[in-house]
Amino acid sequence: MIRLVKRPQPSAAWSYGAPLLAVLATILAGGLLFFFLGKNPGEAIATIFWEPLFGEFAFFYRPQLLIKGAPLVLIAIGLSLGFKAGIWNIGAEGQYIIGALCGAGVALAMYPLNVFWLFPAMVLAGALGGWAWAMIPALLKTRFGTNEILVSLMLVYVAEQFLASMSLGLMKNPEGFGFPGSRNLQQYPAAHNAEIIANTGLHWGVLAALISVIFAYVLLTRHRLGFSIRVTGDAPRAATFSGVSPKRLVIFCLGTSGALAGLAGLFEVAGPAGQVTIDFNVGYGFTAIIVAFLGRLHPVGILLAGGLMALTYIGGDIAQSQLGLPAAAIQIFQGMLLFFLLAIDVFTNYRLQIGRQEAA
């Protein structure tokens, strides 16, 4: 008989090994999938993982990895703080949208004024916007005990309606011939989140993501607040006895993750995207949830996971055009990553027992 037996202590070896095993299992199962689609599995896997990093056009793809990975890391860092404490912000996508709208709103209101403080003001507005949007589920939870998972998720759809309304109305480009979408901030120097060093992909959002990783690391390992977060996640009752206020933690975790998601939205709208458009959000807020878990809710892990996720996106697009793999196959490949991680993760807390039942 095969049974799962709970470990007295989570296994450290499994905890660190699970992401690596998950990647390996994804490569194997993905290879099999590509094989059945009539492609050379080795070539397909190499295209996804090798081509963007070391291929002929790596000079173009490496910067793209930063552009694609930065918002994922920035959002996932914020989410991981809450997830560690059992506070589930599922609505980062909405906070991302509102952050972008607030930041872009400041720029569009000032257009065409070119002043040095414009971009810092946009950054502030972006963070505030995301923070405020996340405060809605936070306050509803602390005041009325609502479920933050549902409220934050539902607010994504509200934010999407706002986005559509802004693209079609208030923020519409007056020189856009009636088409939806704002002015392009890439053509507005004071508001443009340009690359800090040309052709490196390194824009302010990438820098912010790296800083957030360091801050989160220090917070979690060196600061009392980080201790409160960890202990609340591990043993909520013990946390209350040690003087942690659950309500303040909810406010802090949702607020921080909202502000970081808002920042990610601002950096995106002012930089790579350039415009407020109806389809501005492409799912970073949801993908970041995968990134946070793939990175074990650890700041350094999240940095690596964000890079890996960006790699599969960019490599996946290359595989589509060079090998003719369908987009759905790439999405299955990405989905398998989380699936295997969750499956293998069971062994962190449980061990497999084969044979007869031992005496308890």
Q: Which residues of 209-226 are buried (b: 16+ CB within 10 A; e: fewer)?
A: bbebbeebbebbeeeebb
Residue spans of alpha helices (H) in 85-147: 92-110, 118-144
Q: Which one among 22, 27, 33, 67 touches other proteins, defined by CB under 8 A? A: 67
What is the Cα–Cα distance from 190 to 116, expressed in whole angstroms? Answer: 6
Q: Is 60 in the site for other proteins (CB under 8 A)?
A: yes
Instruction: Give residue for tokens 């807020």.
Output: 285
Q: Does 64 bind other proteins (CB under 8 A)?
A: yes
CB nearer other proteins, residue 114 or residue 199: 199
Give the phi and the psi of residue 4 in degrees, each rounded to 5. -100, 130
Of 77, 278, 50, 68, whose CA–CA distance to 162 is shortest?
Answer: 278
Rounded least distance, CB 75 to other proteins, Å = 16
- What residues between 177 and 206 interact with other proteins by CB under 8 A? 177-181, 184, 186
> What residues numbered 248-307 form the site for other proteins, per CB under 8 A?
268, 272-275, 277-280, 282
Q: Measuring CA to CA, how many Å separate 128 from each of 88, 98, 288, 359?
A: 20, 9, 20, 57
When the beta carbons of 141 and 172 are compared against other proteins, the nearer one is 172
Segment 304 to 323, residues that bind other proteins, using CB under 8 A: 313-314, 317-318, 320-322
**Nearer to other proteins by C-beta: 239 or 325?**
325
Annotate each residue in 135-174 with x if it binds other proteins (CB under 8 A) or - if it does not, as one string.
Answer: -------------------------xx--xx--xxx----
In terms of CB distance, is 137 or 285 closer to other proteins?
Answer: 285
Query: Closest by alpha carbon to 289, among 248, 252, 341, 329?
Result: 341
Nearer to other proteins, 39 or 68 (CB): 68
**What are the percentages of helix, strand and coil residues in the chain, rounded to 5?**
70, 5, 25
Count of residues of this chain found to bind other proteins when the rule CB under 8 A is applied: 42
- The distance of Cα 53 from the centroid of its chain, to the nearest Å, equals 21
In the complex, which residues of this chain contact other proteins (CB under 8 A)? 57, 60-61, 64, 67-68, 160-161, 164-165, 168-170, 177-181, 184, 186, 268, 272-275, 277-280, 282, 313-314, 317-318, 320-322, 324, 326-328, 331
